[in-house]
Copies of this chain bind each other. A is one copy, B any other.
Amino acid sequence: MDGVIESDVKMEGNARTKSVGAYSDVLLRVLGLVLTMIAAVIVGMDNQSKIISLKITDILPPVQITVNAKWQYMSAFVYFLVSNAIACMYAATSLIFSMKEKNNIKNNMALLALIILDLLIMGLLFSANGAAAAIGVIGLKGNSHAQWRKVCDVFGTYCHRMTAAIVMSLLGSFVFLLLVVLSVLNLQRKSK
């Protein structure tokens, strides 16, 4: 009789842990979706035009020219936007799958595919963050050795928005890292 009660308590505990795990998984996927969507939208909408005065000779008055900053102008930012858009779409698709299939213990291959895809998206986001941040540093500080001058003194608003997008995307990539850790923890719990 004691054995039956003990077994019931253990099963109840397992079911509770499983539901907490599934709840965290869904929550993290929603968070990943929101963060990468915000990052992609910020970059996609980020453009700034500015009128600057250019003095060509001492005799003539300075010429007013309009300069633009757009994400399309820099391949690293294109890669950043595309990566975040892919991560966002993947988060939405995997969220539906996760809600439907995660508790189906028989579907081991699908679960494995989900972990590998989480890993690949994490790698994609980390590389995109690295690329955007590297260009951001040059934009902010310039590089005297390569004679690449800073642009953030002219395009301040553009640079601030891009920084916000990189922070969002960085948080998003850590969300995907946590998703993999969560899956590993679940597997380890099952293997005991």
Contacts and interface: CB of A to CB of B under 8 A. Distances in A.
Interface of A: 68-70, 73-76, 79, 108, 111-112, 115-116, 119-120, 122-124, 126-135, 137-139, 143, 145-149, 151, 173, 177, 180-181, 183-185, 187-188, 190-192
Q: Which of A130, A131, A149, A192 has the most CB of B within 10 A?
A: A130
A130 B126 contact: yes
A177 B139 CA distance: 31
16 contacts: A74-B143, A76-B137, A112-B185, A115-B184, A116-B181, A119-B177, A122-B122, A122-B123, A130-B134, A131-B131, A131-B133, A134-B135, A135-B135, A138-B138, A148-B148, A187-B191
Contact of A128 (B130, B132, B138, B185): B130
Given A129-B130, A185-B112, A73 B191 contact: no
